[in-house]
Amino acid sequence: MMAAVRSFLQRIAAIFYTRTLFYTRTQKSEHNMSSTRRPLIVGNWKMNLDHREATYFVQKLAWLLRDAHFDYEDCDIALLPPFTSIRSVQVLVEADRLHVDYGAQTVSVTAQGAFTGDVSADMLSALGCRYVLVGHSERRRYHSDDDANLVDQVRAVLADGMQPILCVGEGYEERREGIELDYAVGQVDDITRDLSEEDARKMIIAYEPVWAIGTGLVATPQSAQDAAAAIRTHLTRTYSPETAQTVRILYGGSVTAQNATLIMNEARDMDGFLIGGASLNPEEFSSIIRLTHKAAKKRV
């Protein structure tokens, strides 16, 4: 009985810590709005790195950034491990007091019960997760995550005090037809149109043209800027200019250390990156983090 009570109290403490941290950082971000949105670099590990590899990666990343005298005060870093590695990342982050956030790659829309294989938002929050990816193209394609399901995912994530990272972006067909901006904005509208303005401000939007994911192809900085500007225009019309300037927008799709600086320099409505393959290499990932941070500081 005492063990059960202790476990329950630890879980409540973890949830309280996560929500307090989220509120503090959200307030800090909103205070610095407009020209000083904090850059965010997110590593989406997909189905890679077991718990031992995750431990090595986090330690290596921390060493690399420490040796580079990286200033965490102006930049947010997050890792999205597989479910089986989240606890290992949590232990390191909390024990070593690392300035790295973490989260999950998807979430169940149900809270608990007979849903084999599902993981609830409440469970993720109890692990200290700050972010949850919603609507990645691979989830839409291979797991049939439709708009109704994604709306419920967003609501579940917000209800447990975490931030959804909503993925949008066109495929080859939409790009060929010249409707890529309408398509991406339409996806944003489909998922967010019924959110309150308060909840909308907590969203992070990742523009990931599907044709660029894992292909080595990358959108031009102008294309990335056009997409981000279109999304901000939509948020202005739906909510307010303040909300449009609050929401952080990331670019994803074959991001490397070679193209990160160019995108950040020229796509000024972009606030960072959602990185796939390059986030599996701590040296490459740390390089992208430092280059993004440097480019963002030039905007102020």
Q: Which helix (H) or strand (E) holds 104?
A: strand 101-104
Residues pairing with 79 in the sheet: 43, 102
Q: Which of 136, 170, 180, 293 is catalytic?
A: 136
pLDDT of 31 strictly over 60: no
How much is the average pLDDT of 171-188? 93
Residue 75 and residue 248: Cα distance in Å, rounded?
A: 12
Among this protein's residues, is 234 annotated catalytic?
Answer: no
How much is the average pLDDT of 191-216? 93
Residue 51 and residue 207: Cα distance in Å, rounded?
A: 29
DSSP 38: P
Reduced to 3 states (helix: H, G, I; strand: E, B; else coil), residue 108 is coil
User: What are the tokens at 194?
Assistant: 């019924």
- CA distance readout (Å), 253 to 85, 86, 135, 210, 250: 24, 24, 15, 7, 10
Residues pairing with 168 in the sheet: 207
The alpha carbon of residue 216 and the mean position of all alpha carbons in its chain are separated, in whole angstroms, by: 21
Tell me the pLDDT of the chain averaged across its residues: 90
pLDDT on residue 8: 46
Residue 90 and residue 103: Cα distance in Å, rounded?
A: 10
How much is the average pLDDT of 89-107? 98
pLDDT bracket for residue 29 (50, 70, 90): very low
Cα–Cα–Cα angle for 258, 137, 283, rounded to 5 degrees: 30
Q: At what angle do helices 83-95 and 51-67 cross, to 10 degrees?
A: 40
Q: Which of 138, 170, 174, 208 is catalytic?
A: 208
161 is in an annotated binding site: no
How much is the average pLDDT of 172-182? 91
Residue 253 and residue 146: Cα distance in Å, rounded?
A: 21
More confident: 6 or 190 = 190
pLDDT on residue 25: 43
pLDDT on residue 178: 92
How much is the average pLDDT of 175-191? 95
272 is in an annotated binding site: no
| Per-residue model confidence as pLDDT tens digits over 251-285 | 999 999 999 999 999 999 999 999 999 999 999 99
State what percent of residues in the chain have pLDDT above 90: 79
pLDDT on residue 123: 99
pLDDT of 11 strictly over 80: no
276 is in an annotated binding site: yes
Cα–Cα–Cα angle for 9, 107, 91, rounded to 5 degrees: 45
| Per-residue model confidence as pLDDT tens digits over 122-147 | 999 999 999 999 999 999 999 989 98
45 is in an annotated binding site: yes
Q: Note whether 43 and 80 are within 8 A (CB).
A: yes
pLDDT of 77 strictly over 60: yes
Among this protein's residues, is 293 annotated catalytic?
Answer: no
User: What are the tokens at 126?
Assistant: 């109890």
pLDDT on residue 1: 53
